[in-house]
Amino acid sequence: MITAEKKEFIEFMMAADVLRFGDFVTKSGRNTPYFVNTGNYRTGKQLATLGKFYAAEVKAAVGEDFTCMFGPAYKGIPIAAATAAALYNEYGIDKPYFFNRKEEKDHGEGGSLVGYKPQDNDKVIIIEDVITAGTAVRETMPVLLGAAKVNVRDMFISVNRCEVGTTPGKTAIMEVGEEFGINVHAIVTVEDVYEYLKASGRYDAMIPKMEEYMDKYCIL
């Protein structure tokens, strides 16, 4: 049974045109009947609301037991900033955040990281939008470990697509856990989205498409 909080988040994403239904292709090249594009958040209210959802997930999962937050370029950047602000406003947890540039800067302060400068033994949490094939995580970890000997144990995302990764029988999130020791926390899962659609009674045409996609690619 989907919780009220998960239902609220799904409806929030749909209202912002972030969660969309139709015919799409994911980063991993798979055809999918739904797509999550956090680049469609475009107002202050939306960003503040998104930050509250993430902050609640962070608070529940790790509390204050982390040093800083990292938002991978590009979509992770505003989400990390919003989460940092919401953690302080909602829970009085004041933690630094930082992000990376796609292209390293060769003037001014230089470097590829902006914001907090990670130190050895820092506990870093990653704030990201979604994980499909785990490609972004594999790009992110060298950036973090190249900056300092940090510990990355937790990652927070909007939607767990529950999709198989490169190893048969394992989701991309399972692979990330085994490869890097990262626990991935999602506000909602594809199963939550599916249950929401079924319960609403307004998306009957999408149900078989979702079922077909989940049967083909998802491990639940």
Contacts of 108 (CB under 8 A, 6+ apart): none
Contacts of 94 (CB under 8 A, 6+ apart): 87, 88
Q: For this structure, is 107 an active site residue?
A: yes
Return d(Cα 16, Cα 3) in angstroms, integer: 20
Nearest CA to 94 among 83, 110, 102?
A: 83
Q: Which of 6, 27, 102, 107 is catalytic?
A: 107
**Phi, psi (5° rounding) for residue 200?**
-70, -30
Cβ neighbours of 27 (radius 10 Å): 11
Amino acid in position 202? R
Q: For this structure, is 105 an active site residue?
A: yes
Q: Which of 105, 117, 149, 216 is catalytic?
A: 105
Q: Is 155 within 8 Å of 137 (Cβ atoms)?
A: yes
Catalytic residues: 105, 107
